[in-house]
Amino acid sequence: MTNLPYAKKKVSENCIYHEATKDELHKVAVDFANSALRCKEAGVDGVQIHGAHGYLINSFLSPSTNYRTDEYGGKIENRARILFEVYDAIRRAVGDDFIIGVKFPFSDLNENSIKPEESIFVCKELEKRGINFIEVSSGMVMDNSSASFTPVVRNDNQAPFLKYASQLACQVAIPIISVCGYRTPDMVEKALSETKISAVSFGRPLVREPNLPNRWKKTDVLQCVFLAIVAVILWGTKLLLVKLRNKAKYRDEQFSSLPSEMQAGNKARTGRKSVVGIFPV
């Protein structure tokens, strides 16, 4: 609470916000770096800085909450300063062979939101500094009701933030991940094939069903097997039709080489000339 960028604000008798001092902001960066280092020592492959959802870094990035007038407020270079300092401190602590990503709030989804060009500027700057991936989210939670920020997602309103991730993926070369609202494998396929994003990530679907990707993968395999069987049947049918056509052609040739009185007799007896292709071989 003490590190929020708001001007001094009394919340209750026991809780008064104050504008974070530079020492406090420096400590924030050091604390992030120490946490990441502990993760590295514990054997994880990488860490993700939470820059979104109204938490500390997002509250600096957004003009709707950052009222500072020093080098941490105002223009986007200043509002993003704490994020750059946190990233740089982590990188210094963990070295180059460790994955660092950020969950980035492309839009605050409010009237005084960070602008698309500002988001792109910050992400390009992070790319220059060596960040490994950016997961694009949006929206701020300012009232402690964290469940309310993420809309209920149904099949017809999937991936509400894909448009932002897609826009950013055209501007940077590092992997862009789109998060929120993926509910069907078709939507995942569409996002991956129709935009330049590198991956999608899931929250609630994996809480509900941790094995979901494997089930979708299995469904894919079953679909492939099914399609392969259909293809073999169609191929076999085509071979059969060709064989029947050739056989009928051969019979026609034989038939027309007969003397005319025999042709008349055979035609009357077999009556098969008009049903090429469906009689048994």
Ligand X SMILES: Cc1cc2nc3c(=O)[nH]c(=O)nc-3n(C[C@H](O)[C@H](O)[C@H](O)COP(=O)(O)O)c2cc1C
- Using CB under 6 A, list all residues that contact ligand X: 50, 53, 103, 137, 146-147, 150, 153, 179-182, 202-205
List 50's β-bridge partners, or say none. Answer: 103
What is the spatial distance between Cα 66 and Cα 154, in angstroms, rounded to a whole number? Answer: 34
3-state helix, strand, coil in the chain (%, to 5): 50, 15, 35
Smallest gap from Cβ 105 to ligand X, in A, equals 11
Please name the residues in contact with 14: beta carbons below 8 A apart, sequence gap of 6 or more: none
What is the spatial distance between Cα 171 and Cα 124, in angstroms, rounded to a whole number? Answer: 8
Question: Which CB sits closer to ligand X, 5 or 105?
Answer: 105
Phi, psi of 122, rounded to the nearest 5 degrees: -65, -45
Question: Which CB sits closer to ligand X, 21 or 157?
Answer: 157
Question: Which CB sits closer to ligand X, 60 or 68?
Answer: 60
Smallest gap from Cβ 104 to ligand X, in A, equals 11
Smallest gap from Cβ 58 to ligand X, in A, equals 11
What is the spatial distance between Cα 210 and Cα 90, in angstroms, rounded to a whole number? Answer: 30
Smallest gap from Cβ 75 to ligand X, in A, equals 27
Smallest gap from Cβ 182 to ligand X, in A, equals 6
Question: Which CB sits closer to ligand X, 147 or 173?
Answer: 147
Smallest gap from Cβ 145 to ligand X, in A, equals 9
Smallest gap from Cβ 160 to ligand X, in A, equals 9
What is the spatial distance between Cα 247 and Cα 252, in angstroms, rounded to a whole number? Answer: 9
Question: Which CB sits closer to ligand X, 40 or 53?
Answer: 53
Question: Which CB sits closer to ligand X, 147 or 281?
Answer: 147
Order of strands, edge to edge, in the sheet holding 46-50?
Answer: 46-50, 99-107, 133-138, 176-179, 199-201
Among the listed residues 66, 50, 49, 55, the one whose alpha carbon sits nearest the alpha carbon of residue 149: 55
What are the Cα distances from residue 219, in Å, to 92, 182, 231? 44, 17, 18
Radius of gyration of the chain, Cα coordinates, nearest whole angstrom: 32
What is the spatial distance between Cα 141 and Cα 62, in angstroms, rounded to a whole number? Answer: 12
Please name the residues in contact with 210: beta carbons below 8 A apart, sequence gap of 6 or more: none
Question: Which CB sits closer to ligand X, 121 or 202?
Answer: 202
Q: Which residue is nearest to ligand X (CB)?
A: 203
Question: Which CB sits closer to ligand X, 5 or 54?
Answer: 54
Smallest gap from Cβ 124 to ligand X, in A, equals 23
